[in-house]
Amino acid sequence: MEVIKSTEGFEAINSNPSLMRKVVHLDHLMVTVMEFLNGPMETPDPPHKHVHEQITYVASGSLKLFVEDREYLLHEGDVFKIASNLNHCIQTLTEYVKLVDSFTPLREEFL
């Protein structure tokens, strides 16, 4: 068993200090904690898709979620799921947004 403290393991993504990620995984399941520190965003981030199934918990803040041609308004405590290969993106609506993402299979590019 491994315990990861809440203050350990955060790294800036692509040297961007406004977007922090922590990754924890087993053989077939990955959890990431994403902290967006630069909100609210003026426009959504670029849409993307991946083969991974994703379930996300909104731990803090508010955001818009765009999945294919639909738009959802989400707040702290909400949960969303994204099936494999669906175009999606977010737009933060508050200064700080914290998301807890679960992925299967592992997102190798996050390791």
Distances (CA, A) of 32 to 69, 74, 83: 26, 18, 17
Q: What is the largest CA-CA distance in the chain?
A: 42
- Give the architecture (CATH level 2) of 13-110: Sandwich (2.60)
pLDDT tens for 58-108 read 999 999 999 999 999 999 999 999 999 999 999 999 999 999 999 999 999
Percent of residues, the chain, with pLDDT higher than 70: 87
Q: Is 8 within 8 Å of 81 (Cβ atoms)?
A: no
Give the single-character DSSP code of 102.
E
